Amino acid sequence: MTRTTLLALASRVEAATGADRELDIDIALATIPHLFRSEYGGVVYDNEAVCRKHDPNHRRYIYDTPRYTASLDAAMSLVPSGYAMGFKRAPCQRSHAMLATIGEEYNASGATTALAMTAVCLRAIAGSME
């Protein structure tokens, strides 16, 4: 997982118009690689590089991936420790989410609250990377 990857994912989430399972899978690939499992023989793979080696499209290794773009609870599972959060609905009918901690603040918007929260979490995780 790189900062650039996370920021690109955050932009894709903000541009989404609704829940997107492929986007959920890409977020999982970038943030929690232990969720990948081969459908052949139940072999568990530990990281994205191994998944890509065995399946360049790395889609058959996904199981039980959280639905970040559809569920606020799943999106909030990405909130880094120590952050306070806030939400608002703007006149343009887009949801806005904010995460803040001492000295840092991240904002994002989305078509739904789950999308806004997912995007802001990805931005905060990327911001914490040096």
Helix (H) or strand (E) run with residue 11 in it: helix 3-15
Domain that includes residue 80, residue range: 3-127
Distance CA 59, CA 41 (A): 16
Which sign, positive or negative, has the C-alpha torsion 38, 43, 46, 52? negative
Q: For the chain, what is the total number of helices (H) and then of strands (E)?
A: 5, 3
Q: Domains in the chain: how many in total?
A: 1
Those residues of the chain that have pLDDT short of 70 are: 33-64, 89-92, 130
pLDDT at position 93: 80
Extract the tokens encoding 27: 């977020």
Q: For residue 108, what is the enclosing H or E element?
A: strand 104-110
Letter for the amino acid at 61? Y
Q: What is the model's pTM?
A: 0.78
